[in-house]
Amino acid sequence: MSERLATLEALVAADPADLLGHYLLGQEYLAEGRPEDAVRELSLYCDRFDGDKGAAYLTLAQARAALGDVGGARAALDAGVANAAAHRHRQLIETLEAERLRLEEAP
* The pLDDT of residue 106: 76
- Per-residue tens of pLDDT for the chain, all 107 residues: 799 999 999 999 999 999 999 999 999 999 999 999 999 999 999 999 999 999 999 999 999 999 999 999 999 999 999 999 999 999 999 999 999 999 988 76
Three-state SS at 98: helix
Contact (Cβ atoms closer than 8 angstroms) between residue 77 and residue 58: yes
Quote the DSSP letter at residue 50: -
What amino acid occupies position 12?
V
How far apart CA 103 and CA 6 sit, in angstroms, is 31
pLDDT at 1: 77
- Domain spanning 3-105: CATH 1.25.40.10: yes
Residue 52: the pLDDT is: 96
Shortest CA distance to 59 belongs to which of 48, 73, 71, 69?
A: 73
61, 71 Cβ separation under 8 angstroms: no
